[in-house]
Amino acid sequence: MTANLLLQHPSFLFILAAALMPLFSRLRIQKAVLLAVPLIAFYQINTLPSSAGACQYLGLQLSFIRADQLTYIFLNVFTIMAFIGAVYSLHVKDWAQHTSSFLYVAGSLGVTLSGDYVTLFIFWELMALASTFLIWLRRSPQSQGAGLRYLLVHIVGGLALLAGILLKYSATRDLSFVQVPVAAASMADYFIMAGFMLNAAVPPLHAWLADAYPEATVCGAVFMCAFTTKTAVYVLCRAFPGFEVLAVMGAIMAVYGVCFAIIENDARRILSYHIISQVGYMVCGVGIGTDMAVNGACAHAYAHILYKALLFMGVGCVLEMTGRQKLSELGGLWRRMPLAMIFTVIGGISISGFPFTSGFVSKSMIIFGAGEAHRIGLLVMLMLASVGTFLSVGIKLPYFIWFGKDSGVPAKDAPWNMTAGMAIAAFFCFFIGCYPEFLYRMLPRPGEYEPYTAYHFSETLQVLGYTALGFYLLRKFLTPHATMNLDIDWFYRKGAQVVMRLARGPISAVDGWVGELYRTAGMRSAMGAARGFSGFDVHVIDYLIDGFAGKVVIMGEHFRNAQTGKVQHYIAAAVIFIFLLLICVVLV
């Protein structure tokens, strides 16, 4: 069973490659391995059995592979994204980045295939740890702090998930990872949902994303934008479809993210807030819970991974070649980086839902599902988020990086492999938009949807047209400035400062006082007791045991001297002993 599991499970292939990456780097075959492993994994997911790798451990039933239609659509896009990310990062010589990214992908694939909560938790924590190193490996003071905050937040989320798992096992003795009926949800289920929602960046558990992703390495951010939040969408689709709290919070996410993106100056923070917004569509679709809405959530997750990675790759090229990512420091780069500009614009129109792009055929499914379920409030919020998306990412981001006032920053197009990675992602943006059946036939729920209707087409063009007009009229007010926008992370940043002040002040003083008390009173008492026990050991225990042992030795010496070696002496002694024994018997 173990050999079959290793051969069948794509996560173990990534883990093995990650462990051997230093050797591959030294042998100069690192690039070949980076490309080969995702391709082999893509083949593996297309040959998976419906279930495998089940085993008993400490009385628990573990299932490492559970494959169905919901699993497959996420595995498919995860392995494609792993290949695109590998192509984009071929120029990186730092094997630690490749090791971290492969472990990160392994964790995501492992979560997706898990059939029980124990297996899921193990891979969930692997994701959190590996992705932290993608932040730290940028090796800047800002990335060190952001990585630490990221890790601490995800530890809290992992503890919430673990608490839910333990409560669930205590109540049911069953840790199967299956759908939770809304009416039968328990406290354990809500703890588990909270752990999932943190990884999905649902407000107010979202600030870690905009804090950490802009500080990751150029290639690390490409991987991070694709896996953590979308893995969370998968587990929510698996366990919690139809929960009203997800529908409401998802719609709030969609609007909340674009509001911050519109006023942001840092390019990667804009894209980070848009992850929150776009994942909000998916969470809302899961919460609505109808077949159309859940299919829309899965379809939008698939499309979003590709166009969001394309946007992060385009902005990453700018950062790689100029060392800058703030809009106020950029402008006029279209002449010096034309390829990166073209691909970034493709990502921008895809996320905005232009016709013949992937966003047009996926995002509208969730909006249509909200209307089909008569959730008009949710529908209006999602439409408003669409306007903000085009305004901030479709227009503002490319305009102030590639056009606008020329900043004079020297630059040139990125290495060929970075351009190739963007080209592959851009191809999928148009391919899915022009041939949506490729995506729709992978969807987990029954149902049909036709995106290219006259109503949807005209509605989309009107929304995009009026948004473009609004930007033209308000472009002076949307000019980015070198400012910092505060979010909910302000509370835990300030809270951490308060804790540190307490630790350095009153807590440190109390600790010193307790230490001094122990040193004066406690230590003396302990040493006095130790001396007493030592005396008792020497004068009582040692005297009794050693004295008894000495007597035994002396008696042994006497018996040894009595042994003459003559048989007649032994016979005489035996006769005397028997004679004395008979006298005692007669007298008694």
Which tens digits make up the pLDDT trace of 405-451?
888 888 888 999 999 999 999 999 999 999 999 999 999 999 899 99
Judge contact between 238 and 368, C-beta under 8 A: no
Residues 330 and 275 in one domain: yes
**Region 153-170: what's the mean pLDDT?**
95
Which distant-in-sequence residues (6+ apart) come within 8 Å of 118 by Cβ?
A: 60, 62, 165, 175
Q: Which of 42-46, 324-328, 491-495, 572-576 has the lowest mean pLDDT?
A: 572-576
Which residue matches tokens 């419906």? Answer: 50
Structure tokens given for 223 = 């991987």
Residue ranges making up the domain that contains 197: 1-237
pLDDT digits (tens, 9 = 90+) for 103-126: 999 999 999 999 999 999 999 999
**Region 200-228: what's the mean pLDDT?**
94
Residues 354 and 476 in one domain: yes
Please indicate, yes or no, if residue 324 is contained in any of the structural domains: yes
- Taking the C-alpha atoms of residue 469 and residue 475, their distance in angstroms, rounded to an integer, is 10
DSSP string, 239-273: H-TT-HHHHHHHHHHHHHHHHHHHH--BHHHHHHH
DSSP string, 197-208: HHHTT-TTS-HH
pLDDT digits (tens, 9 = 90+) for 245-291: 999 999 999 999 999 999 999 999 999 999 999 999 999 999 999 99
Please indicate, yes or no, if residue 576 is contained in any of the structural domains: yes
What pLDDT, on a 0 to 100 scale, did the predictor assign at position 556? 59
Distance of CA 468 to the CA centre of its chain: 36
Please indicate, yes or no, if residue 581 is contained in any of the structural domains: yes
Q: Which residues pair with 326 in a beta bridge?
A: 266
More confident residue, 505 or 438: 438
Residues 334 and 478 in one domain: yes
Please indicate, yes or no, if residue 496 is contained in any of the structural domains: no
What pLDDT, on a 0 to 100 scale, did the predictor assign at position 112? 96
3-class secondary structure, 326: strand
Please indicate, yes or no, if residue 488 is contained in any of the structural domains: no
**Region 22-50: what's the mean pLDDT?**
92
What pLDDT, on a 0 to 100 scale, did the predictor assign at position 1? 47
Per DSSP, helices labelled H in 397-505 are 397-402, 416-434, 437-440, 454-474, 489-504
Question: Which of the listed residues 237, 265, 288 is the one where a domain comes to its end?
Answer: 237
What pLDDT, on a 0 to 100 scale, did the predictor assign at position 551? 63
With DSSP H G I counted as helix, E B as strand and the rest as coil, what are the percentages for the chain, rounded to 5?
75, 5, 20
More confident residue, 142 or 525: 142
Q: Which pLDDT band, with edges at 50, 70 and 90, does 297 fall under?
A: very high
Q: Which residues pair with 52 in a beta bridge?
A: 65
Question: Which of the listed residues 173, 208, 237 is the one where a domain comes to its end?
Answer: 237
pLDDT digits (tens, 9 = 90+) for 47-59: 887 666 667 777 7
What pLDDT, on a 0 to 100 scale, did the predictor assign at position 587? 59
Handedness of CA 287, 290, 293, 297 (dihedral sign): positive
- Taking the C-alpha atoms of residue 125 and residue 350, their distance in angstroms, rounded to an integer, is 32
Per cent of the chain over pLDDT 90 is 67
Q: Which pLDDT band, with edges at 50, 70 and 90, does 134 fall under?
A: very high
Structure tokens given for 140 = 């800047």
More confident residue, 510 or 167: 167
Query: Does residue 565 register a pLDDT over 70?
Result: no
Q: CA angle 187-191-195, nearest 5°?
A: 165
Judge contact between 249 and 283, C-beta under 8 A: yes
Residues 136 and 251 in one domain: no
Judge contact between 396 and 273, C-beta under 8 A: no
Query: Does residue 564 register a pLDDT over 60?
Result: no
Per DSSP, helices labelled H in 241-375 are 244-263, 267-288, 291-322, 338-352, 358-372
The count of residues in the chain is: 588
Residues 254 and 382 in one domain: yes
DSSP string, 19-82: HTHHHHHHHT-HHHHHHHHHHHHHHHHTS--SEEEEEEETTEEEEEEE--HHHHHHHHHHHHHH
Residues 17 and 157 in one domain: yes
Please indicate, yes or no, if residue 494 is contained in any of the structural domains: no
What pLDDT, on a 0 to 100 scale, did the predictor assign at position 483? 76
Please indicate, yes or no, if residue 276 is contained in any of the structural domains: yes
More confident residue, 330 or 493: 330
Q: Which pLDDT band, with edges at 50, 70 and 90, does 570 fall under?
A: low
Residues 197 and 329 in one domain: no
Residues 58 and 165 in one domain: yes
Judge contact between 228 and 131, C-beta under 8 A: yes
Please indicate, yes or no, if residue 144 is contained in any of the structural domains: yes
Query: Does residue 562 register a pLDDT over 50?
Result: yes
**Region 501-521: what's the mean pLDDT?**
76
Average pLDDT, the chain: 88
**Region 455-468: what's the mean pLDDT?**
91
Query: Does residue 568 register a pLDDT over 70?
Result: no
Q: Which pLDDT band, with edges at 50, 70 and 90, does 476 fall under?
A: confident
Question: Which of the listed residues 170, 205, 237 is the one where a domain comes to its end?
Answer: 237
Residues 467 and 512 in one domain: no
Total domains, the chain:
3
- Taking the C-alpha atoms of residue 400 and residue 322, their distance in angstroms, rounded to an integer, is 15
3-class secondary structure, 18: helix
What pLDDT, on a 0 to 100 scale, did the predictor assign at position 412? 87
Residues 89 and 127 in one domain: yes
Judge contact between 324 and 318, C-beta under 8 A: yes
Residues 440 and 561 in one domain: no
pLDDT digits (tens, 9 = 90+) for 315-338: 999 999 998 999 989 988 988 999
Residues 227 and 252 in one domain: no
